[in-house]
Each structure stands twice: as C-alpha cells, then as structure tokens.
Amino acid sequence: MNWMPVDYYEFGRIVVDGESFTSDVIISADGIVNTRWWRVEGHRVCKDDVRDILDSSPEIVVFGTGYHGLVKVDREVENFLESKGIEVEKFVSREAVKRFNELVKEGKRVVLAVHLTC
C-alpha cells in the first residue's frame, strides 16, 4: 500500500507527506481525496458532505472535529456510513490524526476527514 502519512497537525495547518495544507482536507490511506473540504454548514457534517469519502471505499472513517472539537457529525451521517459497513470514529483533530496514522499502519482502508481550526 502506498501510504500518505500525516506528518504534523497544528491549529489551522496539516502536513501530509511533506505537503502543507491550510484548508480542511479529506485523506485516504492512498492519498489526498479533497484538499478543500467544505461542508454545507461549516461546523456540521451532514450526509452531502461525505460523498468524496465514499469514493475511497473505506472500512473506517475518522472525523477530526477541530482543534477544540466544535464540528459535529450528524447522527444521520454515522447511520448512513454504518449502513454501508463503514465504521465511524470521531476525535478532536490532533487525536484523529494519530488514530488515522495508527489505522493505516495496521493496514486498514481508512479515510480522515479533518477540520483544521475551531
């Protein structure tokens, strides 16, 4: 597997495989999925916000809910992903990055959808 590691995260910035991003991103174990992930409602993840995630056929989706955890993932999103056999995990963004890296090292098909601020 060609792994795109998350090298670093801080408020407002994430570094993936040596490349720095300052917008919210979606990352799969194989690479960047969306470098400017924007949600219909900024601090809420709804079903329309996860289309790019499905294209990566993940077995696990890790949501980074922001530096202070202000992003909320709708229960409808969790139910939708789980109905497709996809596990959902949610953490403040620094913990989500750690979890993503752990899961990729374990060989899991995982996607990280991460909010970089708030």
Complete DSSP assignment for the chain = -----EEEEETTEEEETTEEE-S-EEEETTEEEETT---SBTTEE-GGGGHHHHTT--SEEEEE--SS---EE-HHHHHHHHHTT-EEEEE-HHHHHHHHHHHHHTT--EEEEE----
pLDDT tens per residue across span 11-39:
999 999 889 999 999 999 888 888 889 88
Find residue 21's DSSP bridge partners: 14
pLDDT tens per residue across span 46-67:
999 998 899 889 999 999 999 9
pLDDT tens per residue across span 62-88:
999 999 999 999 999 999 999 999 999
User: Does the pLDDT of residue 2 top 80, yes or no?
Assistant: no
User: What is the domain partition of the chain in residue ranges?
Assistant: 6-114
pLDDT of residue 1: 46
pTM for the whole structure: 0.94
pLDDT of residue 95: 98
Residues 7, 91: Cα–Cα separation, whole Å? 18
What's the topology of domain 6-114? Hypothetical Protein Mth938; Chain: A, (3.40.1230)
